[in-house]
Structure 1
Amino acid sequence: MTLRSAVFVAVCIFAALATCSLALPARSAPKYNTSGGPMAGKLNVHLVAHTHDDVGWLKNPDQYYAGLNNSIQDAKVQFVLDTVMQELELNPDRKFIYVEIYFFSRWWQEQDEDTQKRVKEYVQQGRLEFINGGIVMSDEAATHYVATIDQMTLGHRFLLNTFGVKPRIGWHIDPFGHSNEFASLFAQMSFDGFFFGRIDYQDKDRRLKDKDMEMIWRGSSSLGAASEIFAGVNYNGYNPPDGFCFDQYCGDDSIQDDFRLEDVNVEERVNDFVAACLDQAQHYRTNNIQLTMGSDFQYSNARLWFKNLDKLIHYVNADGRVNVFYSTPSIYLDSLHAANLTWSYKTDDFFPYADGPHAYWTGYFTSRIALKGFERTSSAFLQSCKQLEAVRGHSNLANSEQLNLAVAVLQHHDGVSGTSKQHVAYDYARRVSEGLSECETVINRALGDLTFVSGPSVTEFVQCPLLNVSICAMSETSANFTLVVYNPVGFARAHLPRFPVPFGSYAVYDEKGLVIPSQVVSMPFETQRLRAEILGEEAAAAANYLLVFAVPTTGFGFATYFVNRTSGPNGEDVALETAAVEKIRSAEEFIDTGAESFAPKADVTMENQNVIVTFDGNTGRLKSLTNKISQISSAVTQDFFYYNSSWGTSDDEQASGAYIFRPNRTAVFPVNAAPIGVTVVRGSVFQEVRQVFSNWVTQIVRLYDGDNDVEFEYTIGPIPYDIPEGKEVITRFSSDLASGGTFYTDANGREMQRRDLNYRPTWKLNVTEPVAGNYYPVNSRIHTIDKTNNRQLSILTDRSMGGSSLADGQLELMVHRRLFYDDSRGVGEPLNETGLLGTGLVIRGIMYVTLETAALSPRAVHPSAVLIAHPVAMALAPLSTDVATYVANHVTSWTALDSPLPPNIHLLTFEILPYGPSHLEVLLRLEHFYEVNEDTKYSGPVTLDLSTLFDPSVLTVTSAVEYNLSANQRSSQVSRLQWSHTAVAENKAQEAFFKSIDAGISVTLQPMQIRTFQLSITRV
């Protein structure tokens, strides 16, 4: 430009400015042409405007919503929703998707009537679309299917009752790996598609090369086509193409199209954008691609995004090389469906996830293991709470809603996953704890009402929520007390409570006055230590014994038992049974003198009607298991080890952290290589071997009378801070089973997934981390099989954790982690949890080990998995009268069922529908928990009549309507997109069954099927 022309331009600009009014013009639709949609013969670029709002991560959910604690992260969800709605008003072509219903429902409640009306119009017009629709975008590795279904149902019912909409798309753009079970669950929730952002970098490279980024994913071999869903991997994860992030924190250039000013960049920006689109398109099969235009907590100033997107659409379309428009994942999916292609087929999962050669995200399978255990027990308690609430009625004084929401929030992929900051983990636990208090009141009141013969309840029940550390005020202070045991599953069970008591002799009676076998044992030293940390030395010393007894209960009901202290004429203890105690190498002696001073001993055995457990007399460790009924044995050893964590190396700075598991070598280090401390306790109710591996690792191995499995209760911590790297603690079971490098893990508590060492079914694995790369999530069980000798070794867990089999016949589970370096994946702090004394976290967990033939293992394992995931709820009250008087004035046993459910059917859900037309609307789910062809007896179909399911003296079913899994649409109205894929045709009769709707209220459940019903009931 010459000097003269530059002066001329400046004068023109000055003149224009001089004549401008300072008043802002009225807001109206922009001048840019943004209308459009897919076009034939063009590359169609679907712009998906979105935000990803973590419900807790670096800040807690309330801080994220309000925009507090911004020194950690500048994120303000309420302003995202405020400004997005304002921008949608300005241009009818604009579209936006929203996912996290926890945040949206909170924002919705704050809006005035005019705003709510306007937002409903956006929804009806398809300009605001709810994707996924759960309370949170849940984790897929550490979540159990029960809590997953609950949180999705809670969100879907809100959307249905608020907007009348039913989400079509699963949208898990941030979770760290993807589970078969989620594909299956989402298909059963009537989703048409499932899009996600993270898959293993090697898998993604192969898929990009082969144009295999989109596929048909079958989640369940048992459910067949009913579990199939279209799945797609987003090209950029969930971020925009490089250079096209228009949020205020991104730093990318806006589109400058004012030719009166300098730095006009329209041509440059259009060229760069078209190049990015063409690059992405070469890896996908149709002329449609999806661009995720947004990221974490973006759009808090939505004007920046939408103004630039308007310009981008206008100028790119004017260029003509590609066709770009505002879109949503639903519109994109419909465009793919219209292409009428045959898609590739996938039946395995997307675990483990790695984003680099030494960065396997398998540490979070175990991170914050205490929180994982708390989540599992809280979810189970919630089921009991909802059942009793439905039977007795909803109360505004105390109800299940707070716990329901708190457990739902905890399913977030930075919640139960253990990948949040410490203060956020505390906040998750606080929310759940407050909800538990509400549900304790619900259960206590319900059981009080149900047990009293007439009128209001006069029995004040209490709970003992700290029984896992043997603390219970009622049993410690009352010589006589009543115990009501509520069983939430649909079939009978026996439970063995363990109550701390101050004396050595008690008698336990049932409702008929018959003595129940019981056993009083001295309290283990590690339990005394935990009690002292929590209560203080003096208070902890008030109870030095544990009272244990077996209490049978019917399904969906309760039984009552009575505990009395027994004493002689002079007040001395008169024990009905004294447990025999043999101190082979006592805990106290072990800690004081060290293991090297112990002399060799003979082997120790525990035996009941079904099992023999043998311990090596020299080492004190497990030596073998024998199944007496099946007449099989295995040499099985068990020990505790730890991996040294990596803090990064000179050539690769990847450390082990909250997300990533990276040991600094493949070798493990024993917690103690020498003989361990052992004490044996024997009695008629149970036997146990108490093992002391070190001053921070102890274990009790129990065998109960009549049981088929062996219980391993471990207490670990504080993990010493004696090496700078940190420790990742495992327990390892090594057997003589010839497993051939194959083992099996469950998917979110349901179907088993085959795992092969150093192998992936759909791509060639380059093994760069031989330990971490072979770890998988274990939500409820892991097993390995010796097919030649027909033996299966199974381990069931009480919470989610990581596990593997790194050698033939071997199973290992990571049970605790303490790390001192951050893994550079965003959380910004090491996983160094502290306990009550600030020295490190102590955790206690339980595993159940079974040796059985491969054919009979499902019968041993599946019912146990259901019972472990759904423990009983217990309520206690002082017994101020004799047993006969109490029985005369109370209902002591009760069930809501007319008869127990079949042994392969689980009462998954029974709860009031808070959004129903009345409180007599109940949501019922029944689950068949065996897989196809898994068992000769229990893998067949089961037919039930809902009209006779319940005891008519308790409630009657007046009508039943079947719904999809998340209960937001009737099964008869479900119509999902059908896709062509490359799999071999299968049994069409089975597929047809799952599409059929049974007449009336007689229902048939096929293997692994969950059926959902909305019942109208009348309470008696």
Structure 2
Amino acid sequence: MSTNPSMLNVHLVPHTHDDVGWLKTVDQYYYGDRNNIQHAGVQYILDSVIDQLQKDPARRFIYVETAFFYRWWKQQNQSTQRIVTQLVNEGRLEFINGGWCMSDEATTHYSAVIDQMTLGLRFLNDTFGECGRPRVAWHIDPFGHAREHASIFAQMGYDGFFFGRLDYQDKARRMKTKEMEMLWRASESLTPPLADLFTGVLPNGYNPPEGFCWDQSCDDAPIRDDPDLEDYNVDEIVQKFLNASYRQAGFYKANHIIMTMGSDFQYENANLWYKNMDKLIKYVNALQAKGSKVNVLYSTPSCYLQELNLANLTWPLKTDDFFPYADDAHDFWTGYFTSRPALKLYERLSNSRLQTCNQLEVLGGPKSKSGPFGEGDSDTMKRAMGVAQHHDAVSGTEKQHVAYDYARRLATGWAHCEVLVRNSLAILSGSEAPHVFCENLNISVCPLTESSHKFSMNVYNPLGRTVSWPVRLPVNGSVYSVTDANGRAVDSQVGNVFISLKCTCYIYDMKSSCLLPLLINNKSVTFDETTGLLSSLTNLETNQTIQLTQNFYWYNASAGNNKESPQTSGAYIFRPNSSDPFVINKTAETQIVTVSSTVQEVTQWFSPWVSQVVRLYEGHRELELEWTVGPVPVADGLGKEVITRLDTDIKSSDYFYTDSNGREVLERRKDYRPTWELKQTEPVAGNYYPINSRAYIKDDKHQLTVVTDRSQGASSLYNGSLEIMLHRRLLYDDYRGVGEPLSEPGDFSDGLVARGRLLLTFTPPDTAADVHRPLAQGMVLQPLLSFQDGTPSANTKLEFSGLQTDLPPAVHLLTLSQWDEDTVLIRLEHQYQAKESKTHSQPVTVNLQKLFSTLDVLGASEMSLGANQWKEDMDRLQWNTSKPLPLSAKDPSPWEVTLNPMEIRTFLLRVRQL
């Protein structure tokens, strides 16, 4: 089949959308288990589609989720694999997107997104070669779309991006102005067209037009084309299709339109779909002989995109993002930014552990995978993290039993990595004494440190720069001496049941001592004597002070009985009953103060279920707030959305700033959208945005930045105010498919207790990035602690660095991973935006041969960001815009590579262990 330039070409795209876990676990979806929850079996979909594609060479199908396809492929015999390979080579089975999953865009960190995309793309490349390389990004189900995702896709070499969900007001305007397709300029720092991506909004979400669903799960009438039958309906169906085609064409610029023919877990019986689509194409195209100007064909997103490119039209430019997403006036999908906060933290910590595992696999050499502690691997963790990026995983929008399964997979992945890490540490240190990992330090449990009077602690720092990291360990003694690798004493103090390195003493005074100002390093914090709340924050370097009050509140979650709308708050939707939250307590009982030259600490109790520790560390420029929330009480019959709010005298004028997937920062403005004139209908939920690592408010002189330890929702609803949602416990489903309320049971079914950290920095705006950028990276890649009983043997190597020297401050080691036996994948990124830092927003050059201490780099080849094609072979479609595109500079030499602000460069290094 071919297109016709004089007609309206309707591209039918047969597809299935297969969630990598949602109402059922990944395994249950694959095998078609527990169909009482949802009828879905991915293995049968692929079986049936492959069978039907062989019956007609005109038929096409696209597949997206590599996590499922990988499993199915491994179970096929050679004959089936040959057939599938032929279908791929002929373009009849086409992989779209191609990541391990279709990731969420609000709550995922860019490093984990790049990893899961690389995992899927590598499998497709290794299995099918160039014909298996996806050319189109396809995010038909995520609930809002991040600019950083578009930037990542562009840098991976994709030609275009299609999605299904769009804010209802934005969609109405775009349909009216024929701006449903656009060029998304997804970076303010990268030189165009590096982060430019053609982007299209699909007309029906990802479903077929009404009346044209022919799956076994659908109720639409089949095409009855026997003229002798009483219920012959070809003419009716054809006319209905022509009407739908012309109606859709009225919203798009070109004489090509795309129709998604499929939906969730469809095509288990692909014959139903193809038999009816064959007839539809036949009878619609037959009318061309009678003057019809509609041409229908089987197609794929990349074929459709190619036709749009050939049309040589000029497309509108998009520079902001697509958050927040609402599908109706009171239905804002902003609750999932915070849903399941413990799972969100566990995923983030698992990402840190995976990077450490990857690095130590490289640095320790081949014996890391098979050494003194057995067989270990990083692949299990990579796949678990890949699954966790799914838009119903880390997003928190799955059923409870599925959330448990995601966490179990991460735990299993780390168990495999633990063996590898033990082997590598033994190789690098020269000691086979077993390393113990204390998994429960967050609740002050570590059996080895609590039972041993003499032990060593090993700290592995996965960052490419030196960091200072405070450690608190549970112990059972009262006097300890602590020394470093060179035998020098480390400042520490035992108090209660903890030894705190760099902490000197604990003072127990329940009355007034906590009202003393905390003063350390270059920060000063004061508390209100009456309320016990924070009252000011001073930066002694600049002699600047802001009034700062912090407290905890909860919004009463809608139960669906509001007269304006029956919409409830749930796993997806945030909808408070009122714009004014309830304060948990107007005062805080202060119970413990730690005052020393190295750390100062105040514990605040706001209620039996909300507490906080306020800390200042010597050598650190940030204020730490360690919050504990839960179990959230619901005996009063009220669902609760718990926030902390920072109120200052900063004149932020309704503006605030949030990061996009942990990278570039976007400007936000209360009750405003850059793309269209907003009619605000939810004054709280409609102003919430996702933050992955940080948010801030500022004026001409002051900037208050909050760095988070996981993805959360945030907003600024008042001048000088910044609020962050920490926890949610709800009593009703929000009718988006999950079918159960978000009310996590916790350990004893009383409700989940969540604990986390916020890091506050107060600086002038022009130097703020120099502080919060490294802070955010340090929160994402945390040191790995391991312990050994007793003291190290005499021949143990006590210090090791995998790098010859610290990386420049602007450069971040994003990826260091074993690729093949003698090759290593490395990604270096410039972690500052253009014009963000006077000091660091400049190009930086790094010598690849002078990076590592244990590796001799013999060769380097640059790859796309997804590491599935050579950089020199990247040839993306070019699009007409109203702005000219400047040229980029070249590297000074093959070994010396230059990184410009926000640039990520990916290399495959051929190495030899030294």
Normalised TM-score (structure 1): 0.87
Shift of 1:470: 1.0
Matched residues in 1 for 2:557 and 2:624: separation? Answer: 29
Cα distance change on mapping 1:602 and 1:907 into 2, 3 Å: closer
Code of the residue aligned with 1:382 in structure 2: it is L
Cα distance change on mapping 1:675 and 1:867 into 2, 3 Å: closer
Match of 2:323 among 325, 338, 351: 351
Name the SS for the 2:679 alignment partner: coil
Residues 552-951 of structure 1 aligned to structure 2 (within 5 Å): 577-584=504-511, 603-648=515-560, 649-787=562-700, 790-879=701-790, 881=791, 886=793, 888-913=794-819, 916=820, 919-951=821-853
Shift of 1:815: 0.1
Residues 602, 618 of structure 1: 8 Å contact kept = no
Match status 1:966 vs 2:866: yes
Matched residues in 2 for 1:104 and 1:938: separation? Answer: 43
Match status 1:201 vs 2:107: no
Match of 2:203 in 1: 235
Code of the residue aligned with 1:772 in structure 2: it is A
Name the SS for the 1:299 alignment partner: coil
Shift of 1:998: 6.4
Shift of 1:997: 6.5
Name the SS for the 1:146 alignment partner: helix
Shift of 1:679: 2.3
Residues 602, 616 of structure 1: 8 Å contact kept = no
Code of the residue aligned with 1:359 in structure 2: it is D
Match of 2:157 among 183, 190, 198: 190
Matched residues in 1 for 2:461 and 2:514: separation? Answer: 41
Match of 1:314 in 2: 282
Name the SS for the 1:743 alignment partner: strand
Match of 2:467 in 1: 493
Match of 1:546 in 2: 498
Shift of 1:504: 2.6
Uncovered stretches (5+) of structure 1, i.e. residues with no partner: 1-35, 523-544, 551-575, 586-600
RMSD over equivalenced CA pairs, Å? 1.3
Match of 2:246 in 1: 278
Code of the residue aligned with 1:768 in structure 2: it is T
Match status 1:411 vs 2:389: yes
Residues 126-525 of structure 1 aligned to structure 2 (within 5 Å): 126-164=91-129, 165-225=132-192, 226-320=194-288, 321=292, 322-394=294-366, 395=369, 397-452=375-430, 457-522=431-496
Name the SS for the 1:899 alignment partner: coil
Matched residues in 2 for 1:579 and 1:429: separation? Answer: 36
Match of 2:7 in 1: 42
Code of the residue aligned with 1:130 in structure 2: it is F
Shift of 1:676: 2.7
Point out the structure with max Rg over C-alpha.
1
Residues 767, 838 of structure 2: 8 Å contact kept = no
Code of the residue aligned with 1:628 in structure 2: it is L
Code of the residue aligned with 2:137 in structure 1: it is G
Match of 1:91 in 2: 56
Code of the residue aligned with 1:636 in structure 2: it is L
Name the SS for the 1:548 alignment partner: strand
Residues 549, 685 of structure 1: 8 Å contact kept = no
Percentage identity across aligned positions?
A: 50
Name the SS for the 2:525 alignment partner: strand
**CA-to-aligned-CA distance 1:483-507 (integer Å, 9 cap, x gap):** 1100111111111111111123211
Shift of 1:757: 0.4
Match status 1:1019 vs 2:913: yes
Matched residues in 2 for 1:512 and 1:361: separation? Answer: 54
Residues 514, 591 of structure 2: 8 Å contact kept = no
Code of the residue aligned with 1:944 in structure 2: it is V
Normalised TM-score (structure 2): 0.97
**CA-to-aligned-CA distance 1:240-270 (integer Å, 9 cap, x gap):** 0000000011100010112233311100000
**CA-to-aligned-CA distance 1:968-1015 (integer Å, 9 cap, x gap):** 001011011111113x446x14xx23xx56641210000010000001
Residues 810, 831 of structure 2: 8 Å contact kept = yes
Matched residues in 1 for 2:812 and 2:671: separation? Answer: 36
Name the SS for the 1:230 alignment partner: strand
Shift of 1:637: 0.5
Code of the residue aligned with 1:368 in structure 2: it is R
Code of the residue aligned with 1:119 in structure 2: it is V
Shift of 1:519: 2.2
**CA-to-aligned-CA distance 1:497-548 (integer Å, 9 cap, x gap):** 11111123211101221110012233xxxxxxxxxxxxxxxxxxxxxx1111
Shift of 1:736: 0.2
Cα distance change on mapping 1:56 and 1:998 into 2, 3 Å: farther
Name the SS for the 1:514 alignment partner: coil
- 647-656 or 733-742, larger mean C-alpha shift: 647-656
Name the SS for the 2:283 alignment partner: helix
Uncovered stretches (5+) of structure 2, i.e. residues with no partner: none
Matched residues in 1 for 2:303 and 2:656: separation? Answer: 41
Name the SS for the 1:663 alignment partner: coil
Name the SS for the 2:482 alignment partner: strand
**CA-to-aligned-CA distance 1:725-761 (integer Å, 9 cap, x gap):** 3000000000000001000000000000100000000
Shift of 1:357: 0.3
Match of 1:976 in 2: 876
**CA-to-aligned-CA distance 1:1-23 (integer Å, 9 cap, x gap):** xxxxxxxxxxxxxxxxxxxxxxx
Matched residues in 2 for 1:896 and 1:248: separation? Answer: 56
Code of the residue aligned with 1:458 in structure 2: it is E
Matched residues in 2 for 1:38 and 1:507: separation? Answer: 79
Matched residues in 1 for 2:230 and 2:80: separation? Answer: 40
Residues 783, 792 of structure 1: 8 Å contact kept = yes
Match of 1:560 in 2: none
Shift of 1:723: 2.8
Residues 737, 785 of structure 1: 8 Å contact kept = yes
Matched residues in 2 for 1:89 and 1:760: separation? Answer: 48
Code of the residue aligned with 2:832 in structure 1: it is Y
- 376-385 or 604-613, larger mean C-alpha shift: 604-613
Shift of 1:874: 1.2
Code of the residue aligned with 2:744 in structure 1: it is E
Code of the residue aligned with 2:392 in structure 1: it is D
Name the SS for the 2:411 alignment partner: helix
